[in-house]
Amino acid sequence: MLKTNNLLCIYQEGFINMGEEIKNSFFCDDDYAKFHDHLQTELKNLTIAFEQSQFGCDEAMCGIEQEAWIVDEHNLPVPKNEYLLNNCDCEFLSPELAKFNIELNVTPQAISGHGLRDMHTQLDQLWKQCNDVLSNESLRLYMTGILPTVHDDQLVTENISPLNRYFALNEQVLKSRKGKPLCLDIVGTEHLRSIHEDVMLESAATSFQIHRQIPVNKSARYYNSAIILSAPLVAASANSPYLFGKQLWDETRIPIFEQAVEVGGYGDAAHGPIRRVTFGSGYVRENVLECFQENFDHYPVLLPTSLDDKSSFFPHLRMHNGTIWRWNRPLLGFGENGELHFRIEHRVVPAGPTSLDEMANAFFFYGLHEYLSCQKVAPEHSMSFSEAKNNFYSAAQHGLNAKISWFEKGKVPISHLILNTLIPFAIEGLNMLDVNQEDIKEYIGIIRDRVETKTNGAQWQKACVKKYGHDMETLAGKYIEGQESSLPVHQWVL
C-alpha cells in the first residue's frame, strides 16, 4: 500500500487541480520557446522509457478526488476555502478555481480486499473534519455536480482562489481566444445562454474523479475501455440537472466544462475538432504514449511556467498534460521509489449526492473497467469511437432515460443495459480484482437499486422541483437534508 506522504507525487499530474503553485502568471515569447524545447526532450525520454519498459509494477491501485462547495445556512456559496485551508490541519485539501470550492483527497489504496471501503472511510473522516472547522463560521460542505443556488454573478474573477496557477489559467485561456469572451450555450429541457469574460464558469461544475493505475503493456486496452464505459457511468451517476434555475441536461457539468474553457489546438481551432476539454479524438492503437504525442503535436503550450529541469521526472510533460482535460485522461505518475506508472483519471462522474453514492459509482467503474479491459477480443474492435462518443453525450443529456448503442445488442435503454448486462460484468470484474465479497454486494447493490428505481441525483432533483416548485433554495435545502442522512439518494424521502 502506498504511503500517505506519496499522495502528492501520485496526483501531481493533475496539476491545474492539485499540486505545486507556479512561480508567475505572465509569460513572454521566450518562456513558450523554452517550455516547448523541454516538452520535446521529455517526450523523447518518455518514448525511450516505453521502449525500455522503465516502469514499476502493475499493481491495481486506486485513488479519488472529491470536489465540494462551501455553503452557508441558506445553502448559498461562500468564498471561504482559504479559511478552511488555514484552519484544518490536513495535507489532503487543496483549493479549487473558485474560493467557494475545495478539493479533498485520500490515500491511494490497492483495489483488492477492503481497499475501496478504506478510501470511503477516510473520505468520510476528512469530510467530517472539514465540517467541524466550517461549523465555527456557520458553514458546511455540500457535494453535488452543480450547486442549485449558485448565480451567474457569483462566477466572477473576484472569487478566484488567489493562486498564480488560476490567474495564469484565466489569462492564457483568454489570450488563446484573442480576447473573445466565452459563451455558454446549452440546449436541454430549457435553453441557457451566458457570456463570460473569464473562465469562472468552470467553477460551477464539481466532480468525483476516479483514478486507476493501469498495466503499461496493456495501457491501450485500459484507456479505450474507460472511453467505452463513460456512457453508463455518467448515466448512472448523473446529478447536475439545473444551472442558474434552468433545467438543462441530466449531467449539465459536461457542456459547462467543455464551453467554460473552450480553447482549441494550433491555428486558433477553438471551435474545431481539437479542444482542450474533450472526449478525445479517437481510441489509442498501441499505448497511451500516443496521447502525450497528440498533446505535443496539436495543443499549444498554455502555461509555460519555469520548472525545475529534471527531465527524468517529466515536469513539463505533466504540466502540459494537466492543461488538456480529456474526460478520460492518462496521467504519468511516480511511486515512492521514483518508479514510473500510468493511471487513468476518469472525470465523467459528478460529486454527490452522498459519499456512499460516489463510492458505489467507483465500484461500478473499477469492476466494469477491469472486465472490459481483460476481454479476449478488445471491445474497441466492435464499437467505433464515434459510437462511444455519441453514447456519452446522449447519456449526459438524458441520464437513465437514454438509449445507447451497445455492441451486438444495438440501440438499448441504458437502464436495462446496466441492470441486465453491466452489473453482472462489474461484479465479475471486481472478483477478478479480488475485492471483498461483502463490499461488492453492498456497493453494487446501491447501483442496482438506484437504477431499478430510476432515482439518481438528477432524477431526485427534478422530482423535488416537481413536488415543491421551481425554487432552487428549497431544492438545495431538501437535498442537504438527504445528504446529511447519509442514505443513498434512491432512499431519500421527498
* pLDDT tens, residue by residue, 249-260: 999 999 999 999
CB 491 within 8 A of CB 446: no
Contact 352, 200 (CB under 8 A): no
What pLDDT, on a 0 to 100 scale, did the predictor assign at position 335? 77
Q: How far apart are CA 360 and CA 364, in angstroms?
A: 6
Non-local CB neighbours of 291 within 8 Å, separated by 6+ positions: 223, 284, 321, 326, 330
3-class secondary structure, 42: helix
Torsion of CA 383, 386, 388, 389, to 10 degrees: 180
CA-to-CA distance for 364 and 106, rounded, in angstroms? 19
DSSP state of 353: S
Q: Determine the pLDDT at residue 266.
A: 61
Structural domains of the chain, count:
1
Q: At what angle do helices 219-228 and 355-373 cross, to 10 degrees?
A: 130
Range of the domain at 224: 4-488
Give alpha helix (H) positions in 374-456.
Answer: 385-398, 414-417, 423-432, 437-452
Alpha-carbon distances of 484 from 356, 481, 489, rounded to whole Å? 11, 5, 11
Cα dihedral 466/66/231/221 (nearest 10): -170
Question: For residue 310, what pLDDT is reported?
Answer: 57
461 located within any domain: yes
Residue 140 φ then ψ, to 5°? -160, 165
CA angle, corner 406, sides to 404 and 407, nearest 5?
A: 150
What ranges make up the beta strands (E) of 58-144? 61-71, 93-95, 101-105, 109-110, 140-142
Q: In 3-state terms, what secondary structure has residue 360? A: helix
Instruction: Name the packing angle between helices 115-134 and 355-373 (round to 10°).
Output: 150
Q: Which residues contact 336 (CB under 8 A, 6 or more apart)?
A: 2, 3, 6, 9
C-alpha to C-alpha distance for 245 and 473, rounded to whole angstroms = 10
Cβ neighbour number for residue 402 with a 10 Å cutoff: 24
CA gap 297, 291 in Å, rounded: 10
SS3 content of the chain, % helix, strand, coil (to 5): 50, 15, 35
48 phi and psi, to 5 degrees? -65, -40
Domain assignment present for residue 220? The answer is: yes
Residues 6+ apart with CB under 8 A from 208: 64, 65, 66, 67, 143, 237, 349, 350, 351, 352, 358, 361, 362
In a domain? residue 493:
no
- Check: CB of residue 378 under 8 Å from CB of residue 224: yes
DSSP 217-234: GGHHHHHHHHHHTHHHHH
pTM of the predicted model as reported, rounded to 2 decimal places: 0.94
Asked whether 113 and 215 are in contact (CB, 8 A), the reply is: no
For residue 494, is it within any domain?
no
Q: What confidence tens digit (pLDDT) does each residue in 158-178 have?
A: 999 999 889 989 988 888 888
Structure-block grid coordinates of residue 252? 449539465
Q: Is residue 77 part of a domain?
A: yes
In a domain, 171, yes or no: yes
* Alpha helices, DSSP H, located in 300-436: 315-321, 355-373, 385-398, 414-417, 423-432
Helix or strand run (H / E) with residue 344: strand 340-346
Q: What is the pLDDT of residue 248?
A: 98
Mean pLDDT split into 10-residue runs, the chain, 494 residues? 34 40 80 94 93 82 97 97 94 95 96 98 97 97 98 96 91 87 95 94 97 95 98 98 98 96 63 77 96 94 81 85 96 83 96 98 98 97 97 98 96 98 98 98 98 98 97 97 96 95
> What is the pLDDT at residue 13?
41
Between CA 202 and CA 261 the distance in angstroms is 7
Whether residue 41 lies inside any domain: the answer is: yes
Q: Which of 177, 176, 196 is nearest to 185 (CA)?
A: 196
Residue type, 221: R
What CATH number does the domain containing 38 carry?
3.30.590.20
